[in-house]
A and B are shown apart, each in its own frame.
Chain A
């Protein structure tokens, strides 16, 4: 999987929007951009994913740059429950043929939300 770069940590205040950046300058045309988050002492959970167009769901929005070399996860109103490690992951299961959708996690961004 292609490599992603994220800031080690970010902070936000409750009720404010949060923009979590991810750089993926070596992304290929078939790579999907996935975001997962991991709350303390829990397994990772899916947040959102996209290929080329911006995406919205009930949890977040994903803004993808036109050249696809970067993306931003947007939490519109952070809550204390959003404090977690956020992982930006590129997935291309075409590579290798047997890597059935495995996730290669980077170090992620630790998001702290202040009351």
Chain B
């Protein structure tokens, strides 16, 4: 019954070692989002896809990239994680991104950088 699935729930990586977080959805939604949530802060959008159209937020560091090989899957790649990238990473979907639409969030992946 899961709609937005994120794996793994917890990820430990080393400083500077590339890491990939994955997200999949069973809703067949056109829009997929990645948010970063640091401790005691609100989620902050990194980027989103409308179908294959990639939209990067202006202040998202170059260290963060994303891939969406098909409708169901989206990946977040952190090329060289720093200690400041330790956070919860949330994936969300929306049917078409309309202003009255609901976003559906996954449970998140908590990233720890050693």
Interface residues of A (CB under 8 A from B): 30-32, 36, 41-46, 49, 51, 87, 91-94, 98-108
Tell which of B44, B55, B103 touches A99, judged by Cβ atoms closer than 8 Å. Answer: B55
A104–B108 Cα distance when bound, in Å, is: 17
Residues of B within 8 A of A91 (CB): 99
A72–B98 Cα distance when bound, in Å, is: 23
**B82 interface contact, C-beta 8 A:** no
Residues of A within 8 A of B98 (CB): 93, 101
Size category, B interface: 20 to 34
B100→A104 contact, CB < 8 A: no
Residues of A within 8 A of B45 (CB): 102-104
Q: A93-B99, A94-B99 known; A43 and B42 CB under 8 Å?
A: no
Tell which of B33, B102, B108 touches A42, judged by Cβ atoms closer than 8 Å. Answer: B108
Residues of A within 8 A of B105 (CB): 43-45
* Closest Cβ–Cβ distance, residue B42 to chain A (whole Å): 4
B106→A101 contact, CB < 8 A: no
* Closest Cβ–Cβ distance, residue B38 to chain A (whole Å): 12
Encode B1-45 as 1/0 by CB contact (under 8 A) with A: 000100000000000000000000000000101010000001111
